[in-house]
């Protein structure tokens, strides 16, 4: 094998390794974000119920 084809093979091997690493990172992020979604949703509900609504009611002078 001449040096030119050896260089191309090394380049393709390196490219395949980078694609595999990126794929693993995407899978890890998608798994982590799946469990994070429910946690964020419950935190948003918590802030809305305990911070935003009471302050809004107090600022507008409404009685609940």
The lowest-confidence range among 8-12, 13-17, 28-32 is: 28-32
> What tens digit of pLDDT does each residue of 32-48 get?
777 766 677 788 888 87
CA dihedral sign, ordered 12, 18, 20, 22 = negative
State the pLDDT at residue 41.
75
Distance CA 39, CA 60 (A): 31
Q: Classify residue 61 by its DSSP letter.
A: T
Estimate to the nearest angstrom the gap between the alpha carbon of 43 and the chain centroid.
17
């Amino acid at each position: 094998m001449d040096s030119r084809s050896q260089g191309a093979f090394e380049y393709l091997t390196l490219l395949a390794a980078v694609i595999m690493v990126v794929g693993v990172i995407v899978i890890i992020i998608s798994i982590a974000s799946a469990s994070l979604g429910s946690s964020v949703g419950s935190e948003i509900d918590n802030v809305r119920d305990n911070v935003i609504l009471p302050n809004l009611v107090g600022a507008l002078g409404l009685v609940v």
